[in-house]
Amino acid sequence: MPFAVLVRGPSMVPTLRDGDALIVRRGGRAPRPGDVVVARFRARPDLLVVKRVVRAQEGGWWVHGDNELVADDSRAYGVADVVGRVVLRYWPRPGFMLRVRTG
């Protein structure tokens, strides 16, 4: 079942910005490197994050933000478990809907 999330913070700039609203799909195919996902770090299970998959590691996923100046990702918290894959940004609404690698 898809669900919505709101991006908070600068870690995914320039791809996503603070305030962007996303649709996330649970299940489906396994994440692949390059996919934008919603995940929880095992070291910080209270924190839900939007990041890009880098690789599979230790039964989970190594994820990074697109903004190299912000290191609140696997470099700081280690392996993450993917909750779902981002399939669409619906706000702010561009002239056309931006699809985020749904391959």
pLDDT at residue number 1: 87
Q: pLDDT for 44-103, tens place per residue?
A: 999 999 999 999 999 999 999 999 999 999 999 999 999 999 999 998 876 544 566 655
Calculate the CA dihedral of residues 84, 85, 91, 94 and round it to 10 degrees.
-170
pLDDT at residue number 92: 86
pLDDT at residue number 60: 97
Distance of alpha carbon 73 from the chain centroid: 10
pLDDT at residue number 22: 97
Domain ranges of the chain: 3-99
Is residue 92 reached through a cis peptide bond, with omega within 30 degrees of 0 on the bond before it? yes
Q: pLDDT for 9-39, tens place per residue?
A: 999 999 999 999 999 999 999 999 999 999 9
Does residue 12 come out as left (phi exceeding 0), alpha (psi in the -120 to 50 range) or beta?
alpha
How many Cα atoms sit within 13 Å of 80 on the Cβ side? Answer: 31
CATH of domain 3-99: 2.10.109.10
C-alpha span between 63 and 96 (Å, rounded): 28
